[in-house]
A and B are shown apart, each in its own frame.
Chain A
Amino acid sequence: MADEDVIRAQIPGIFYRRPDPESEPFVQEGQTVEPGTVVGLVEVMKQFHEVTSEIAGTIAAFEVENEGMVSPGDVVARLTT
């Protein structure tokens, strides 16, 4: 079995998988990511902050739906590495 690793939210707010409502998601499940790949945005107090992967891997699943609430440390996505 492959190791599983995660991407966590650093700040509280609303999680978005797209840069704006009309655009495609930053990444899809099954897609590979590198350290620094943007996988979503967190909106907090009218500011937007990028959520990035710290490791290389493949997105196995998102654990937070688009426009879901996140708290610091929450798992946003699981990776297979």
Chain B
Amino acid sequence: MTAATAPFEKVLIANRGEIAIRVIRACRDLGISPVAVYSEADRDALHVALADEAIEIGPAHATKSYLVPEHIVSAAVEAGAQAVHPGYGFLSEDSRLPEACDAAGLTFVGPPAGVMAAVGDKVLARAAATAAGVPVAPGSDGRLGSEEDAQAIAGEIGFPVMLKASAGGGGRGIRVVQDPDELAAAYRGASAEAQAAFGDGGLFLEKLLVQARHIEVQVLADRHGTVVHLGERDCSTQRRKQKLIEEAPAPGLDPGIRELLCTGAAEFARGVGYVGAGTCEFLVDADGNAAFLEMNARIQVEHGVTELVTGIDLVAEQLRIAAGLPLAFAQEDVVLRGAAIEFRINAEDPDQHFMPSPGPITGWHAPDGPGVRVDTGFETGRVVQPFYDSLVAKLLVHGRDREQALARARRALAEFQVEGITTTLGLHRRLLDWNRLVRGEVDTEALETDLQAVTA
């Protein structure tokens, strides 16, 4: 594509690290000039070096730079950008950013502010899921009125249950309740935490699915009413609700459940008037019960595994959709090929309770070769800052089937060398000998249970 047909001339990327670079690359492929932003701590970061221009937006701490919508918008205006891509994390799901973009006459690469706010409200999202025919866990219809209310509903659906903040996110305002005696204290605790964190103590309640897999469905929706799904990802290999390994397709998933979740996610997106790339997250237990968790109104860390199996550039599609272009393909054109797996390489020490390990990178050798992709913001000489996320690289592998993908993962993880900081590379090498992963039988509790054995 030439610059003459580019969706935008200039796009500001309101992020840092590997995702900023991922967006820079999509901009280049589309003939768009990418503009970076950076905090005082990120002057020498790789995303700054790779952009056409870069604007400083404040001090190191994200609350004073990457998390200030006004700083992002004024940088975009200063650079003469037409659009703002939020990446993931930071302001990507904060409706103040699309609002500020609208007010300044900028295009936000994502859903409209109202849609973002609606899918971010878990009670509204649960109602929208029900309306779209998406499976939801048995639970309360909307907000709970009182502790007694919670006790009555929990008694009806059976324990264990989850109490969740209506305005929730980031794991705050959530309590797992195993039996009726614990409910009152959990209700008060979750409500107080939600009030403190979100200014809204409202709670709802759902039955907890145990030993469930985390399955999520990628959707793309344009401004012309076309919605497609791009299949599912299995992100069950988690530690403390943080994903470590993601793959597509989900190994051994029942085709009926796959169809239900994929078409349900597209229906959900259509029902809420979604625009852009988004992901519907579900839990699926061993008995085949599926439950909608939430929709993430942004590109996700693990989007690359979907790109590898579909051949579709999700970030480029985000930019095309934001410019008002229709999707160039229909649902039947989406064909999945092979299997892809992503490994999150974090600056953490698995042998020291995953203690963060920031600092300068003194040696770096990233793997390459058939079926291997590395998305990173680092190289030798760059510094992993203590202020931000610990993700230093995503290793993605693709094969004609899962077996070949795993073999390529083994080869690539053996080649990958990082010096100066401690990373989770060693853990990932050991995880490739973990029977449950090799057999594709991981649920979200599995690694927590087996971690001792895996790290020993």
Are A and B co-members of a single complex?
yes
Which residues of A approach B to under 8 Å, CB–CB?
Answer: 11-14, 20, 44-47, 67
Minimum CB–CB distance from A17 to chain B (whole Å) comes to 15
B358 with A12: CB separation less than 8 A: yes
Minimum CB–CB distance from A10 to chain B (whole Å) comes to 9
Q: Find A45's partner among B61, B196, B388 (CB 8 Å cutoff).
A: B388
Q: Smallest CB-CB separation from A14: which chain B residue?
A: B61
11 pairs of residues in contact across A and B, judged by CB atoms under 8 Å: A12-B359, A13-B356, A13-B358, A13-B386, A20-B196, A44-B356, A45-B386, A45-B390, A46-B388, A46-B390, A47-B356
The residues of A that contact B355 with a CB separation of less than 8 Å are: 11
User: Given A12-B358, A45-B347: A67 and B61 within 8 A (CB)?
Assistant: yes
Tell me what chain B mostly uses at the interface: helix, strand, loop, or mixed.
loop
The residues of A that contact B386 with a CB separation of less than 8 Å are: 12-14, 44-45
Chain A-chain B contacts (Cβ-Cβ < 8 Å), number: 30
In Å, the complex CA distance between A11 and B355 comes to 9
Q: Smallest CB-CB separation from B391: which chain A residue?
A: A45
Minimum CB–CB distance from B199 to chain A (whole Å) comes to 12
Minimum CB–CB distance from B350 to chain A (whole Å) comes to 14
Minimum CB–CB distance from B359 to chain A (whole Å) comes to 8
Tell me what chain A mostly uses at the interface: helix, strand, loop, or mixed.
loop
Tally of contact residues, B, Cβ under 8 A: 13
The residues of A that contact B387 with a CB separation of less than 8 Å are: 13-14, 45
The residues of B that contact A13 with a CB separation of less than 8 Å are: 356, 358, 386-387
In Å, the complex CA distance between A67 and B61 comes to 9
In Å, the complex CA distance between A59 and B425 comes to 42
The residues of A that contact B347 with a CB separation of less than 8 Å are: 45
Residue B102 at the A interface, CB < 8 A?
Answer: no
Shortest 10 CB-CB contacts between residues of A and residues of B: A45-B356, A45-B390, A44-B356, A44-B386, A13-B386, A12-B386, A12-B358, A47-B356, A45-B386, A46-B389
In Å, the complex CA distance between A67 and B64 comes to 12
Minimum CB–CB distance from A9 to chain B (whole Å) comes to 11
In Å, the complex CA distance between A20 and B197 comes to 11
Q: Smallest CB-CB separation from B347: which chain A residue?
A: A45
Minimum CB–CB distance from A20 to chain B (whole Å) comes to 8
The residues of B that contact A67 with a CB separation of less than 8 Å are: 61
Minimum CB–CB distance from A21 to chain B (whole Å) comes to 10
In Å, the complex CA distance between A71 and B358 comes to 11
User: Given A12-B386, A13-B386: A44 and B61 within 8 A (CB)?
Assistant: no
Q: Smallest CB-CB separation from B170: which chain A residue?
A: A46
The residues of B that contact A45 with a CB separation of less than 8 Å are: 347-348, 356, 358, 386-390
| Interface residue ranges of B367-396 to A (CB < 8 Å) | 386-390
In Å, the complex CA distance between A46 and B348 comes to 12
Q: Smallest CB-CB separation from B89: which chain A residue?
A: A46
| Interface residue ranges of B169-207 to A (CB < 8 Å) | 196
In Å, the complex CA distance between A11 and B359 comes to 11
Q: Smallest CB-CB separation from B62: which chain A residue?
A: A46
The residues of A that contact B388 with a CB separation of less than 8 Å are: 45-46
B358 with A44: CB separation less than 8 A: yes
Besides the contacts A46-B390, A67-B61, what 19 more A-B pairs have beta carbons closer than 8 Å? A11-B355, A11-B356, A12-B358, A12-B359, A13-B387, A14-B61, A14-B386, A20-B196, A44-B356, A44-B386, A45-B348, A45-B358, A45-B386, A45-B387, A45-B388, A45-B390, A46-B388, A46-B389, A47-B356
Minimum CB–CB distance from A15 to chain B (whole Å) comes to 11
The residues of A that contact B348 with a CB separation of less than 8 Å are: 45
In Å, the complex CA distance between A20 and B193 comes to 13
The residues of A that contact B356 with a CB separation of less than 8 Å are: 11, 13, 44-45, 47
In Å, the complex CA distance between A28 and B452 comes to 40
In Å, the complex CA distance between A14 and B385 comes to 11
In Å, the complex CA distance between A27 and B388 comes to 27
In Å, the complex CA distance between A74 and B345 comes to 28
The residues of B that contact A47 with a CB separation of less than 8 Å are: 356
The residues of A that contact B358 with a CB separation of less than 8 Å are: 12-13, 44-45
Q: Which residue, B348, B359, B386, has most C-beta atoms of chain A within 10 A?
A: B386
Minimum CB–CB distance from A76 to chain B (whole Å) comes to 15
The residues of B that contact A11 with a CB separation of less than 8 Å are: 355-356
In Å, the complex CA distance between A48 and B223 comes to 41
